[in-house]
């Protein structure tokens, strides 16, 4: 748990955050936004080096973390695809790789295709914090920080919200972490629109309902309610399927966000979010709709929230 003190903490799950922790982070995020928007030179991370260790591809998380460090005057040690370019190819263990990288850096940002890898890395790293940049189909806590900030910025609250999450609820780590985040706040209702075979696991549904989140699973577009404050669209996670046939079947059954769908079911003042990458999830024809924030505030908030998290975890603010 963070308990108001971020310094030196590993960040592996949204479950470590309380409402007060999010409030601290959002406060700092506002300051970081000013630095980034105004291109203010910053020395907040001067003298520090942050390792980006990405065992899985990434556009947003990798580049926003790299940009966050550099915007704050720090430096990065960047390794993408260690399984091809590092001594992992020679048989070096994951733990040894983490121990080596921690010797050279002040924090490790880790993305991995295996669920639980971030926790494993946090156990291996004795001296520096590890931040989970997405582990398999488990969690993606820093994505949730930017998603929650985007909602907070738009609505001024994170309680009394009705939303719909669509796509691959079973495998989407961004959905898993965002549901955990929203379960911290009162009177939230989430509709989950997914093909049957990509529903949330029963354990996860029970756990989230126990925390007070109202969860309603739906399976076709006619069940979409008209009162959602936000939609959160996700792609089908092709890389998590064991066969091409299963993936194609799921892809065949999903609902895509189109201008027609918005016209029929969406409120005028709702927002449409997508953690991206966009792969047959949101029709590009929706981009011009001002409710579509995925390439606007949502993407930019990834930079500001990650700047804030780094400054807090590295004890520089
Ligand atoms: N949203 C997200 O995690 O995107 P990347 O995989 O490109 O980092």
Query: Can you give the pLDDT at residue 242?
Result: 84
Mode of pairing for the β-strands spanning 75-80 and 214-218 = unpaired
Q: Which residues line ligand 1 (CB under 6 A)?
A: 58-61, 134, 140, 143, 275-277
Catalytic residue from among 9, 29, 33, 60: 60
Residue 254 DSSP class: P
- Counting every residue written for the chain, the total comes to 317
Q: What are phi and psi of 217, to 5 degrees?
A: -90, 130
Active site residue 306: no
Work out the average pLDDT over 297-311. Answer: 98
Which residue reads 């404050």 in tokens? 229
CA-closest candidate to residue 109, choices 94, 127, 131 = 131
Average pLDDT, whole number, for the chain? 97
pLDDT digits (tens, 9 = 90+) for 42-98: 999 999 999 999 999 999 999 999 999 999 999 999 999 998 888 988 999 999 999
Work out the average pLDDT over 109-135. Answer: 98
Query: Can you give the pLDDT at residue 229?
Result: 98
Which residue reads 């590009």 in tokens? 284
Helix (H) or strand (E) holding 58: none
Read off the pLDDT band of 251 (50, 70, 90). confident
pTM higher than 0.85: yes
Query: Can you give the pLDDT at residue 227?
Result: 98
Burial 261-271 (b: 16+ CB within 10 A, else e): bbeebbeeebb
Catalytic residue from among 9, 111, 176, 235: 111
Atom of ligand 1 nearest to the CA of 276: 1
Query: Hey, is 108 helix, strand or coil?
Result: strand
Residue 11 DSSP class: B
User: Which tokens in the block code for residue 187?
Assistant: 């009177």
Read off the pLDDT band of 228 (50, 70, 90). very high
- For residues 120 and 95, the answer to whether their CB atoms sit within 8 Å is yes
- For residues 191 and 216, the answer to whether their CB atoms sit within 8 Å is yes
């Amino acid at each position: 748990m963070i308990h108001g003190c971020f310094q030196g903490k590993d960040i592996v799950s949204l479950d470590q955050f309380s409402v007060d922790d999010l409030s601290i982070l959002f406060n700092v995020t506002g300051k970081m936004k000013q630095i980034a928007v105004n291109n203010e030179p910053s020395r907040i991370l001067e003298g520090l080096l942050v390792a980006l260790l990405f065992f899985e591809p990434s556009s947003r998380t990798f580049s926003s973390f790299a940009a966050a460090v550099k915007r704050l005057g720090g430096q990065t040690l960047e390794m993408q695809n260690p399984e091809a370019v590092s001594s992992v190819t020679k048989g070096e263990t994951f733990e040894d790789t983490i121990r080596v990288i921690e010797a050279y850096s002040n924090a490790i940002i880790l993305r991995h295709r295996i669920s639980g890898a971030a926790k494993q890395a946090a156990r291996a790293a004795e001296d520096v914090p590890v931040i989970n940049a997405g582990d398999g189909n488990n969690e993606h806590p820093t994505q949730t920080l930017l998603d929650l900030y985007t909602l907070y910025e738009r609505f001024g609250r994170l309680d009394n919200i009705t939303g719909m999450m669509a796509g691959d609820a079973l495998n989407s780590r961004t959905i898993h972490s965002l549901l955990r985040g929203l379960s911290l706040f009162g009177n939230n209702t989430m509709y989950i629109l997914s093909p049957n075979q990509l529903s949330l696991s029963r354990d996860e549904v029970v756990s989230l309902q126990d925390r007070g989140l109202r969860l309603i699973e739906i399976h076709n577009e006619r069940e979409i309610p008209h009162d959602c404050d936000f939609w959160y669209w996700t792609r089908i996670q092709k890389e998590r399927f064991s066969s091409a046939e299963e993936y194609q079947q799921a892809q065949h059954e999903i609902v895509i966000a189109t201008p027609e769908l918005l016209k029929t079911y969406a409120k005028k003042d709702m927002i449409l979010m997508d953690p991206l990458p966009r792969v047959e999830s949101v029709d590009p024809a929706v981009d011009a709709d001002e409710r579509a924030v995925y390439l606007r505030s949502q993407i930019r908030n990834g930079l500001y929230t990650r700047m804030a998290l780094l400054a807090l975890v590295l004890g520089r603010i």
